[in-house]
Structure 1
Amino acid sequence: MDTPHLALTGTAHHEAGHAVIALALGGTVRGISLRPVGGDWHGDVSLRFPDTDQAVPDLVVALLAGAHAEHRWHALHRPTHTAYPYDIDAGAAPDRDLVHDLLAALPRRERPTQRELDARAARLVLTHWAHVEHLAARLVQHEHRDRTRS
């Protein structure tokens, strides 16, 4: 695979991780978009959770799941650094910034630790990996179909 396709595939797994874990936790996915930016790909996913005490922790888990899914894809497919020269954790910084803001807004006594939510995200990605891969493949296929029509 060439670098642009690897970038698309990695981004698709990242966004699929958010979406699949949100659905597994009872949330809804309002949309997923992938767009080329220079030689890279950026993704967005719009998630919604029922208004309960668990909404913020579940949203945080879904946000953290994106990087876990991309890391798992990377570990399974092992693209070379030359072909995939991306720092997954740096790319997930906006997700972590939002996680920090969401958790900081909770009263301290009601706030779960980011570490426990991150561990939960990692476990859920492993549990639902087949769904993450399936959705990521569909996202990549959709982008290729759209590019060939343009």
Structure 2
Amino acid sequence: MAATIERHTEVHEAGHAVIAIALGLPVEGMTVVPDGEAAGHVIIPDQWAILDSWEARERWRDERTAIMGRILAYMAGAEAEIEILGNCHGGDGDDRLWISRMLEEIPSERTPAQLEERLRGHTRALVRRHRAAIERLAGEIAQSRSLSAVQLTALLSVPVTSVAKRA
């Protein structure tokens, strides 16, 4: 039986949230309540807010690491759909736009396309590692429809995974 659009949205948004939290990124909330063109969204702050959050927790990282963490979290929505449901329903256009913009900000000897391919591989591995948490959160968001940062923190006992190695 094919998954519904709602189920794809739940898994997609749960993928973003779980991987962001696993990477130590702050997540300000998530919803699967449609809003204009979006079927749902997870609020992940920009790299400057991420760096401030890390500094407050005495974790010292650079801007490149924060951007790469955001890219992995943005990629995790589609990758979670593929891993758990077998395909991406196609609602990741905005994610792809932001990913391409962020890839341009990262100094690298690789082209943005090469870097994207490498980071997608890292994202797939993270999604597989945290699949149970993604499925658990997708089930929870299906019931509650929206979750705050406090609720997400309480629900997820995801071990923090170090941000991807330099690509």
Q: Please state which band the TM-score falls in when normalised by the shorter chain.
A: 0.7 to 0.9
Tell me by how many angstroms 1:119 deviates: 0.5
TM-score after normalising by structure 2? 0.68
- Post-superposition Cα deviations, 1:13-38, rounded to whole Å, max 9, x if no partner, equal 00000010001111111010112479
Which stretch has the larger CA shift, 21-30 or 47-56?
47-56
Q: Which residue pairs with 2:164 in the alignment?
A: none
Counterpart of 2:16, as a letter, is H
Q: Deviations over 1:52-105 (max 9, x none)?
A: 330001100110010011112212xxxxxxxxxxx8363212111100001112
Map of 1:92 onto structure 2: 92
* CA–CA distance in structure 2, aligned partners of residues 125 and 60 of structure 1: 14
Distance 1:142 1:42 in 2: 15
- Is the CA contact 1:8–1:41 (under 8 Å) kept in the aligned structure 2? no
AA paired with 2:12?
H
Report the equivalent of 1:61: 72
In structure 1, distance between residues paired with 2:88 and 2:14? 15
Query: What is the alpha-carbon distance in structure 1 between the residues aligned to residue 116 and residue 89 of structure 2?
Result: 15
- Counterpart in 2 of 1:82? none
Residue matched to 1:43: 40
Q: Contact 1:7 / 1:41 at 8 angstroms: preserved in 2?
A: no
Q: What secondary structure is seen at the aligned counterpart in 1 of 2:24?
A: coil
Q: 2:19 aligns with which of 21, 34, 38?
A: 21
Secondary structure class of the residue paired with 2:106 = coil
Task: Measure the CA separation in 2 of the matches of 1:116 and 1:57.
Answer: 11
TM-score (norm 1): 0.75
Structure with higher helix content:
1
The runs of 5 or more residues in structure 1 that have no matched partner are 76-86, 144-150
SS at match of 1:32: strand
- Give distance in 2, aligned partners of 1:16 and 1:10: 10
Aligned to 1:104: 104
8 Å CA contact retained: 2:8, 2:81: yes
Change (3 A) 1:133 1:94: same
Q: Once the 2 structures are TM-superposed, how far is the Cα of residue 9 of structure 1 from its aligned partner?
A: 1.4
Counterparts of 1:25 and 1:63, CA distance in 2: 12
Find the residue that maps to 2:39 and give its secondary structure: strand
Structure 2: any 5+ residue segments left out of the alignment?
52-61, 146-167
Deviation at 1:106, TM superposition (A): 2.6
Higher strand share: 1
